[in-house]
Every structure is written in C-alpha cells, then in structure tokens.
C-alpha cells in the first residue's frame, strides 16, 4: 500500500499539474497570512536553508487552526501553504468558490483579526525584450549589416538565386565548409604544382560565402544568393599564410576564363584587378558577345583589368569615392566564411564585386526571360538610386518580374 501510494505521488509530481498552476477554468485565488510565532531564533542572512520554511521553522498549531477557521468562515479552499520565518507568518493560497469576486472576499478579510495579510495571487512577467524576427536562423546574420543596407532579406522573399550557376575565378574554395554545403558544384585548378591546403583558399572561400552561403541552416551567415550554384576556377594562389592577398597571372587566368566560357555559366565573378592585358581582354570580350555577365572589382587606374573593359560591371565600396560607371555595395567589415568552418570579416572591392554578383544572380533567377549582359547592365543602371551607383535590388526585382512572383528558370547553358 505504501509503495503504491509513493508511485502515485511520484506520478503526480512528474506528470500532474503543479499545485500553483491554475487549471483551465481557474477559480480566483488569494494569498492570506496568519501570525506564526518563530520556534527558533532567525539565523543570519543567507542561512535560511533550502526550503521556504527555513531550518527548524514549521507551522504552529495556532496558525494552522486559524487558517482552517478562516477557510470555513469564508468558504475558501486551501490550495497550498508555506511558513515564512523572516516574517513570522504562515501563508496560505486559497481558492474562492461560489462565484464571488476577489475584491469582495479581500474586503471581508481586511476586518478579520486573525488575518495578518490578504491580497490577490498576482502574476508577474519577465522583461526581456523579444528580438525582432529576421526570418533567418543563421546565428551570425545580425552581424551582416551589408545585407540590411542592400535590402537582401526582402529580395530573398522573391528569389534566392535558384537555377543560376556562377563561375568564380579566384583562389580555390574550401568546398567542405559547412556553410557552403551543396553550393559548390565543381572545382577546376589551373595553378601549377600540388593542390594547396584548405587554409590557403581564404580569398575564394570568402567570396563564395558572400555570394552563396547557405541560409536557414542554423550555421553562420546568409549568402546574397543562397540557392545559387558556384563553379570554382582556381587561377590565383595565396601569398602568405593567414592573409587574403593572392596573385594570378595571364597564363592561369586565360585558362580559367576559357574554361569558364566553355562551362556555359551566365555569370562570372572576377574579384581581382591588374594591368591591361590583351589576351584576357579578348577572352572577356568574347564572353560579352555571348551574353555572359562579368563582374569585376574596381581598382586604381593603374589596374584597369577587368573593369575598364566596356560591358564589364564594375563594383566599388559604398564607403569610398565611386569610380565613374561603378555600382556600389558595402565593402568594409563584411561577415563571410574562412576555411576550416570558420567565419570572419573581410573588406575591399573584392567583397563589393561578390555582393554585386550575388545581386545579379537574384535578378537572373527572378527573370521570366533570359537576361544577357546588356540587359543586366541596363537593369542595374535603371534601378540605381540617386546616389551614384547605389543599387535598389528590390526595385530591380519588381521590374524584372513585373511585380509578380518570380519565374525561376534553369540556367547554365547558352
């Protein structure tokens, strides 16, 4: 019998309603205090024991009797009780029956000499402010102020770049980064010698993250076009450990550009700059004639390739003077990916080029008809804001999709 009673009590504690939790159709409840003489001298502060009644402090016979008498006199039902040594008081939570109001019962109790205190059982709430809903569960999203500046969250309600393949000509990319899962479709290397370690693929990994880091995967960041696919053409090599600086040459870039054109990718990201180069210029111009869109990083006049080529979209940082004809995007302290599953900030017009590439991927994905390089350029220019080169991606999306839900077309061949 004792064992069965213990099991029943344990079940109540584990699965039953807590004693102070109001039932679905809760009756009003009040707290009433009765004098309860201390049985031992109060201990010093911090030594009241692990329970409300303190060490050695219990309910006196007089307080217990008074509680029962008051319950009978006012038709109250005891729910739970506990003694408070510091106040020399025994407190009881009563439930009021018979449809009476809390105010009426408390008014009656205020004249009863047996009662030290009578008040409503009140409810309190924490004051932690709710975080504004971003629509993303990626933990570093709030650090991506560039996405807010560009209006990307709203744009991604229309499209996230699905069906668009981007050729990234850069260093290699750490395709094993968890925030690029499924985004890197193929990688080709045109750099002589053994394959570099993942740690030597910083710049390409950072650009790939800005463009297409996976959204809503409970990891890291959100790419501008998180459902776009990236094909990597490794033509550059890192110059020093732990640094983004990388170099390429005519030979490696020419091979990468030719392969990118052969792949049929409609969009090519060139986050680098250098001197005018006839061979590379001829390859880019050949792609432009095919309708391929190229995005390059704006640089000093001494490094005109590729942005000085007519038809190449030039990207500059919005925090600096804008070269003529360039489009701007935030280029300082932009959160992105690092090899080995890491994250960090990156700065420079390379980042701006990757952002503009991601924006164009959104436009290509949302367009119901094919957009070639000329059409993309006209669309960007038509929807640049009053400030030089400032893109309004949402206005461009509304224009390209006619204000309706975007039609996502598969791309990748010409």
Name the architecture of domain 26-120.
2-Layer Sandwich (3.30)
137 contacts 115 by C-beta, under 8 angstroms: no
DSSP string, 325-389: T-EEE--SSEEEEETTTEEEEE-SHHHHHHHHHHHHHHHHHH-SS---HHHHHHHHHHTB-SSTT
Using the predicted structure, report yes or no on whether residue 148 has a pLDDT greater than 60.
yes
Share of the chain above pLDDT 70, in %: 83
Instruction: Parse the chain into domains and list their residue ranges.
Output: 26-120, 141-400
Using CA atoms, how far apart are residues 158 and 250, in angstroms rounded to an integer?
A: 39
**pLDDT value of position 389:** 81
DSSP state of 314: E
- Closest CA relative to residue 271, chosen from 226, 310, 316, 332: 316
Q: Can 26-120 and 141-400 be said to share one CATH topology? A: no
pLDDT digits (tens, 9 = 90+) for 368-394: 788 999 999 999 988 765 456 888 999
Strands 229-234 and 237-238 come out as: unpaired
Under the banding of pLDDT at 50, 70 and 90, the label for residue 134 is: confident
**pLDDT value of position 78:** 94
What is the rounded average pLDDT of the residues 211-237? 97
> Does domain 141-400 correspond to CATH entry 3.40.50.620?
no
pLDDT digits (tens, 9 = 90+) for 271-296: 999 999 999 999 999 999 999 999 99
Under the banding of pLDDT at 50, 70 and 90, the label for residue 129 is: low
Integer Rg of the chain from CA: 35
């Amino acid at each position: 019998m004792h064992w069965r009673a213990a099991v029943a009590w344990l079940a109540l504690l584990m699965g039953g309603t807590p004693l102070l939790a109001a039932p679905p159709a809760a009756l009003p409840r009040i707290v009433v205090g009765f004098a309860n003489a201390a049985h031992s001298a109060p201990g010093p502060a911090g030594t009241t024991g692990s329970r409300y009644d303190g060490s050695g402090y219990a309910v006196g016979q007089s307080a217990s009797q008074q509680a029962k008498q008051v319950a009978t006199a006012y038709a109250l039902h005891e729910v739970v009780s506990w003694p408070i040594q510091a106040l020399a008081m025994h407190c009881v939570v009563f439930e009021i029956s018979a449809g009476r109001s809390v105010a009426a019962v408390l008014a009656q109790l205020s004249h009863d000499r047996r009662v030290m205190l009578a008040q409503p059982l009140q409810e309190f709430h924490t004051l932690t402010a709710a975080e504004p809903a971003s629509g993303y569960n990626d933990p570093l999203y709030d650090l991506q102020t560039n996405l807010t500046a560009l209006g990307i969250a709203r744009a991604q309600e229309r499209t996230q770049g699905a069906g668009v393949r981007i050729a990234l000509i850069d260093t290699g990319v750490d395709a094993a980064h968890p925030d690029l899962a499924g985004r890197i479709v193929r990688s080709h290397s045109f750099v002589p010698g053994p394959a570099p370690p993942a740690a030597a693929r910083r710049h390409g990994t950072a650009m790939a993250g800005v463009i297409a880091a996976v959204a809503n995967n409970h990891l890291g960041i959100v790419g501008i076009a998180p459902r776009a696919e990236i094909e990597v053409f490794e033509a550059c090599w890192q110059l020093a450990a732990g640094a983004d600086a990388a170099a390429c040459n005519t030979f490696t870039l020419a091979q990468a550009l030719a392969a990118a054109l052969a792949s049929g990718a409609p969009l090519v990201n060139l986050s680098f700059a250098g001197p005018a180069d006839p061979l590379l210029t001829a390859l880019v111009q050949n792609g432009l004639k095919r309708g391929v869109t190229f995005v390059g990083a704006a640089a000093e006049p001494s490094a005109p390739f590729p942005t000085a080529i007519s038809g190449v979209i030039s990207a500059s940082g919005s925090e600096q003077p804008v070269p003529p004809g360039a489009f701007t995007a935030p280029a300082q302290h932009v959160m992105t990916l690092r090899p080995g599953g890491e994250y960090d900030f990156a700065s420079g017009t390379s980042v701006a080029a990757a952002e503009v590439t991601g924006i164009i991927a959104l436009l290509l994905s949302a367009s119901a008809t094919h957009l070639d390089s000329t059409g993309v350029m006209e669309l960007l220019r038509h929807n640049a804001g009053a400030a030089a080169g400032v893109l309004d991606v949402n206005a461009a999306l509304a224009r390209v999709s006619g204000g309706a839900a975007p039609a996502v077309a598969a791309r990748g061949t010409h």
